[in-house]
Structure 1
Amino acid sequence: MTTPATTTRTVLEATGVTMRFGGLTAVRDVDLTVDTGEIVGLIGPNGAGKTTFFNCLTGLYTPAEGTISYRGTRLSRKPHLVTQAGIARTFQNIRLFANMTVLENVLVGRHTRTKEGLWSALLRSPGFRKAERDSEQRAMELLDFTGLATQRDHLARNLPYGEQRKLEIARALASEPGLLLLDEPTAGMNPQETRATQDLVRAIRTQGTAVLVIEHDMRFIFNLCDRVAVLVQGQKLVEGTADTVQADERVIAAYLGTPTDPTTPPGETPATTDDTGATP
């Protein structure tokens, strides 16, 4: 893989991101940065707002408040322009083209990096044919990188579950992102597949792509990430190294189901809540 040029150390900067659905605030005033060469984890109990936050970053949702910038440039609210800018993602529920081959799925991910237009495609111009060859070569490099090269002609639906996850990552990498967002990449995997995914994410970082990952597997997150941010009830509770986060009493309380107040310093008793679980 080709390491992308990096001129700005901060790849992603999200400031004050807030997302509301009617009267429900799903994400509230979240700040997060990801720097070049980093793997950052985003964790929290179910319903904490993690995927909603991802959807805000990638243009699927338009935040009510806040700004999101990639390499110092404020992002568009249109998903295809976010991908074009340099952010790619996978989804919690695998979204492959089931009746297309492994190679064809990865080629779909190349569309933001090809410049040939409709007429060039219809006329099969020399420029189009060269772009097609280059895209296939790049796709094969990614399949080799993810260990799927021998299955290039298999239908995506026929791959084992763990390899479908790899294929989704390969397709995301086909857009040549500077930042890759992974939404629960090890969900449903056995321990061997989880270790292989951990190695793959580290290899992606080594090749020059920063990674932001949501995951419920705490061992996976704490072994992998340089920093970890914790969301609880849509707010960022704490952020730091694995050791810092694991030692924070508020994080322990959140995962044990004890109501927490994100403003409560470590070691202090969390604020009480009303009968609905909402903090007064």
Structure 2
Amino acid sequence: MTAVDTAPADGRTGEAMLVAEDVTMRFGGLTAVDSVNFRVNRGEIMGLIGPNGAGKTTFFNCLTGLYLPTSGRVVFDGAVLPPKPRKVVLAGMARTFQNIRLFGNMTALENVMVGRYCRTSAGPFTSIIRGPKFRREEAATRQRAQELLDFVGLGHTTDSLARNLPYGDQRRLEIARALATDPKLLLLDEPTAGMNPQETRQAEELIFKIRDLGLAIVVIEHDMRFIFTLCDRVLCLVQGKALIEGTPAEVQSDPRVIEAYIGTGPDDASELEKELES
């Protein structure tokens, strides 16, 4: 376990929940993430943006233990994280994926219960014979899963197969399953991808509700209007490197961000500003 300095470098108050220090990820001769520093404070919503191929999901995978960074380190809640997803989840970090990864032939309730099992302790023998400890934990798991379905607005879907749910509900179900692990930090990879405007508004309201529970949240998203409305701070990655980090106002007005997304001309900048203001 490695202690880290939790005082924000720019003088903001707040204690660091997640700190990535000079994280680099190479695949052979390709550098997908290049010496990125990243910080998320407790109770903060942090946005991660960048054009396609910027390295956002690769960086996410480094943060959550799916990849072992080529160099650098990730510190979560004061300890260096091991590159093992299960240990990362047990430490208090949960995530969703860009492509929905639900168990389609299981009910909504069962999907959330799966997320909860990392917090149960009944051994294999007790589970096989369905002993008293297993029955107590199973009942508690079922109750907690139902509470989380209610929390995300899916209480009516308890017995519905996940594959039969509308797309937006499947996204919310993934979030409920992640919350079942009792995280301190929730990472959402494109939570509004494929959603209509109403579903996007519902997702925004849900993320604010989760933050109000005291969780820190990191969001990857291509919907710039969504990210700039939602987040306290935003980091923009371009070609694996950190381009700018700051408030939504600072990031959306930076000409380098406009250039990275849509080009360099003044007409391009004006079009992006109109889109963000509309």
TM-score (norm 2): 0.89
- Map 1:231-270; keep pairs closer than 5 Å: 231-257=237-263
Partners of 1:73 and 1:115 in 2: CA distance: 23
Residues 95, 189 of structure 2: 8 Å contact kept: yes
Q: Alignment partner of 2:217: what SS?
A: strand
Partners of 2:257 and 2:35 in 1: CA distance: 19
Which residue identity lines up with residue 49 of structure 2 in the other structure? I
Residues paired across the two proteins, number = 251
Report the counterpart of residue 16 of structure 2 in structure 1: 10
Gaps of 5+ in 1: 1-7, 259-280
> 148, 151, 160: which one pairs with 2:154?
148
Partners of 1:113 and 1:205 in 2: CA distance: 21
Partners of 2:149 and 2:263 in 1: CA distance: 42
Report the counterpart of residue 52 of structure 1 in structure 2: 58
Q: Alignment partner of 1:167: what SS?
A: helix
Q: Deviation of residue 228 (structure 1)?
A: 0.3
Which residue identity lines up with residue 199 of structure 1 in the other structure? E
Report the counterpart of residue 127 of structure 2 in structure 1: 121
Which residue identity lines up with residue 120 of structure 1 in the other structure? T
Report the counterpart of residue 86 of structure 1 in structure 2: 92
Q: Deviation of residue 116 (structure 1)?
A: 1.1
> 142, 145, 149: which one pairs with 1:136?
142
Report the counterpart of residue 206 of structure 1 in structure 2: 212
**Cα RMSD for the two superposed structures:** 0.9
Residues 117, 141 of structure 2: 8 Å contact kept: no
Q: Deviation of residue 127 (structure 1)?
A: 1.2
Q: Deviation of residue 249 (structure 1)?
A: 1.2
Report the counterpart of residue 230 of structure 2 in structure 1: 224
> 32, 35, 58: which one pairs with 1:29?
35
Partners of 2:35 and 2:199 in 1: CA distance: 35
Which residue identity lines up with residue 55 of structure 1 in the other structure? N
Report the counterpart of residue 9 of structure 2 in structure 1: none
After the TM superposition, list the runs of 4 or more consecutive aligned residues in structure 1 that deviate by more than 2 angstroms. Answer: none
Which residue identity lines up with residue 9 of structure 1 in the other structure? E
**Post-superposition CA distance 1:80-108 (Å, at most 9, x none):** 11111111000000000000000000000
Q: Deviation of residue 257 (structure 1)?
A: 4.0
Q: Alignment partner of 2:198: what SS?
A: helix
Q: Alignment partner of 1:163: what SS?
A: helix
> Is 1:38 aligned with 2:44?
yes
**Post-superposition CA distance 1:220-248 (Å, at most 9, x none):** 00000000000000000000001100111
Report the counterpart of residue 99 of structure 1 in structure 2: 105
Q: Deviation of residue 128 (structure 1)?
A: 1.2
Partners of 1:93 and 1:179 in 2: CA distance: 20
Partners of 1:18 and 1:39 in 2: CA distance: 23
Gaps of 5+ in 2: 1-13, 265-278
Partners of 1:195 and 1:109 in 2: CA distance: 25
Percent identity for Structure 1 against Structure 2: 64
Partners of 1:196 and 1:166 in 2: CA distance: 9
Partners of 1:216 and 1:57 in 2: CA distance: 19
**Post-superposition CA distance 1:146-177 (Å, at most 9, x none):** 11111100000000000000000000000000
Q: Alignment partner of 1:109: what SS?
A: helix
Q: Alignment partner of 1:140: what SS?
A: helix
Q: Alignment partner of 2:20: what SS?
A: strand
Partners of 1:87 and 1:69 in 2: CA distance: 11
Q: Alignment partner of 1:119: what SS?
A: helix
